[in-house]
Structure 1
Amino acid sequence: MNAKIGWSALLALGLAFPFMAGNDYHLTVMSTAYIYAIATVGLNLITGYTGQFNLAHSGFMAVGAYTVGILTVDYQVPFWIAFALSGVVAAGIGFFVGLVSLRLKTHFFSIFTMCVGYIMFLLIEKWDSLTHGTGGIVGIPAPESAFGLDFSEPRTQYYLVLLFLALSMWIMHRIVNSLLGRTFVAIRNGDDLAQALGINLMRNKLLAFMLSVFFAGLAGGLYAGYVRFLGPELASVEHTFDMTMYMLIGGIGTMAGPLLGAVSMPWLTQQLQFLQDYRFVVFGPLLVALVIFLPHGIVGTWMARRKRKAAQQVSVPPVRLPAGKGVRRA
């Protein structure tokens, strides 16, 4: 019940934000944060719940974005059809990448996916005939109107992104709390133990990987329709590190943690804009201090404290024998 109240309050705040925002720039910052929150939630599935750190995640987000950009600009495909294909194309490429990379474990998997991400970046940058190269794709159309709503306006675009964020969180909640989600957690806790329980490691890791990059592809498709310009830097591994930072700050392996990190950090960097080139001198130590004193993130630490408090309250009272009676020995 408390969780439902909390999520309902967050949704209400999201719905009310356009009326509290001072200008369209604030809507732009928040909408972009929501898009990266969708991608971060996907990364949290493979990293936080399954235990596989995918450093090519931003590359798959770029795949979804370029799917929308290429289809709409070069082939005049309607936006919604191209958007529907963005996650599918990312998951399809993720199937073949996962078949090879998921045979590796621990940091070997991360290093391999980092190389895959860099290959994606180079393909986007150098394949001029398909991706338009370093010039990028310009003139991406905004989502077509639906139900009388014009999605070229900042406020309606904001609500569109909020809708997909809410759907993504709901779907991820259903996955994580299902038998499939518990299977992913068992794999994270130990491959040998999961295999002893009869779990098919390769099949479930590959499924988690494909679901993860599917969310990244959808986030990329939304990003293309919102920003309406794409460049190769979207596939840079730096964006994956940003999403990793969001997970660590909010709480890796939690539902609300990646969302909290993805929404709060852009606003913190915006508040430090007045420091210009020196803002990272302040931001860096703050991040280090947060990781040291809250190693499980904000949400993860709060949940751990709640569990400890609940465990202390639920204590078994000692068994007392009636007065004058003892235990007879045989």
Structure 2
Amino acid sequence: MPKWFEGWLGWALLAAAGVLFPFVAGNDYRLTVMTTACIFAIATLGLNLITGYTGQFNMAHAGFMAVGAYTLGILTVDHQVPFWIAFVAAGAVTALLGWPLGWLSLRLKGHYFSIFTMCVGVILFLVLEKWESVTHGTVGLMGIPGPAPIGPLRFETPVQLYYLVLAFLALGVWVMKRITGSLLGRTFIAIRNGDDLAEALGIPLMRNKLVAFLVSVLYAGWAGALYAAFVRFVGPDVAGSQNTFDMTMYMLVGGLGTVFGPLLGAIAVPWLTQSLQFLQEYRFVIFGPLLVALVIFLPHGVVGTWLAWRARRAAHASAASDPIAGPQATEVRGA
């Protein structure tokens, strides 16, 4: 990957490719696949912030995505709230629910945190399935309205909906780049590398973990709201653990702790599975070994492995160009 691709020019080319995609898609089915992939890319970016950058694996992420979807659906279908007000409320309700759950769960570390959030995800699924008077139970919410027009902009056709989701994805990537490139993002990385060391440096662990958790679930909530508006239906299955595992797979394929990695995984993996549709039920027999091989030979994901290779190459080039550091390093290794 050339250096010019890493800066604003590379992101501009990716944005141009996204804008031009409807012209080469060929049909609405491919456009639907890409729109859905972009929605899950937004949610995966959020999961990557708490998992890849802060080191806390939230297994209830799909549950928070479902909270956003159901908030939009309930407000628009049952209470006739205008779409964009309901959309903002979807993020607010998800964050409000995430605050006490995050405050409680983040007191646990490692596998205990993951197990606790897995239980939270199951509880959220059961609430959505059993609370029929509010969530409509297993029937789900049907007839969710699409996004309301914004001035002359309308979102009725698949192409218009695609561009709306693409705009939210671009905004989500920009915000995530700003967060991860800031002092706050470095604080998250310090916490991931070691709680004790971060605390010794004066970093307030609980406050920063909670901030990462809330931003993460906010991404999930708004992704869920976009999903409900795009599909026009939402059921309890949105909160299923399968969706969390899918987003985890996207992170592993692309690369944990990077912004481009989860984006790459969330878009590439669905297209790979779609390209194997002709194999019908046997496609996962091929996709499974491919994923295992990727995890074995590229344990840091595509982007993470490339970044590690580039860092090693830069270190070797620096050592070779310094005629003094090289012998000194050899003496140190010999000692």
TM-score bin, normalised by smaller chain: over 0.9
Deviation at 1:317, TM superposition (A): 2.7
Residue 274 of structure 2 is matched in structure 1 by 270
Matched, 1:237 2:241: yes
Deviation at 1:318, TM superposition (A): 2.5
2:136 pairs with one of 132, 136, 140: 132
Letter in 2 for 1:317: D
Residue 22 of structure 1 is matched in structure 2 by 26
Residue 333 of structure 2 is matched in structure 1 by none
Provide the TM-score with structure 2 as the length reference.
0.94
Residue 171 of structure 2 is matched in structure 1 by 167
Cα distance in 2 for partners of 1:201, 1:227 equals 39
Letter in 2 for 1:19: F
Q: Deviations over 1:15-57 (max 9, x none)?
A: 0000001101111000000000000000000000000000000
Matched, 1:31 2:2: no
Residue 327 of structure 1 is matched in structure 2 by none
Cα distance in 2 for partners of 1:233, 1:79 equals 23
Matched, 1:317 2:322: yes
Q: Show the 5 A alignment for 1:247-258.
A: 247-258=251-262
Cα distance in 2 for partners of 1:86, 1:38 equals 15
Matched, 1:282 2:286: yes
Alpha-carbon RMSD: 1.1
Q: Show the 5 A alignment for 1:1-330.
A: 2-315=6-319, 316-319=321-324
Deviation at 1:102, TM superposition (A): 0.6
Cα distance in 1 for partners of 2:301, 2:93 equals 32
Letter in 2 for 1:193: L
Deviation at 1:319, TM superposition (A): 4.6
Letter in 2 for 1:177: G
Deviation at 1:296, TM superposition (A): 0.5
Partner secondary structure for residue 310 of structure 1:
helix
Q: Identity, % of aligned pairs?
A: 67
Letter in 2 for 1:77: V
Cα distance in 1 for partners of 2:314, 2:144 equals 52
Cα distance in 2 for partners of 1:288, 1:273 equals 20
Cα distance in 2 for partners of 1:10, 1:109 equals 35
Letter in 1 for 2:46: G
Partner secondary structure for residue 55 of structure 1:
coil
Letter in 2 for 1:243: M
Deviation at 1:5, TM superposition (A): 1.4
Structure 1 residue runs of 5 or longer lacking an equivalent are 321-330
Residue 326 of structure 1 is matched in structure 2 by none
Q: Deviations over 1:80-121 (max 9, x none)?
A: 000011111111111010111111100000000000000000
Structure 2 residue runs of 5 or longer lacking an equivalent are 326-335
Letter in 2 for 1:238: Q
Q: Deviations over 1:52-87 (max 9, x none)?
A: 000000000000000000000000001100001111
Cα distance in 2 for partners of 1:251, 1:87 equals 26
Deviation at 1:147, TM superposition (A): 3.0
Partner secondary structure for residue 267 of structure 2:
helix
Q: Deviations over 1:230-276 (max 9, x none)?
A: 01000001100000000000001111000000001111111111111
Partner secondary structure for residue 7 of structure 2:
helix
Partner secondary structure for residue 314 of structure 1:
helix
Deviation at 1:150, TM superposition (A): 2.1
Letter in 2 for 1:195: E
Cα distance in 1 for partners of 2:214, 2:322 equals 49
Residue 325 of structure 1 is matched in structure 2 by none
Letter in 2 for 1:12: A
Deviation at 1:149, TM superposition (A): 2.3
Cα distance in 1 for partners of 2:323, 2:307 equals 28
Cα distance in 2 for partners of 1:319, 1:62 equals 59
Cα distance in 2 for partners of 1:175, 1:267 equals 29
Paired residue total: 320
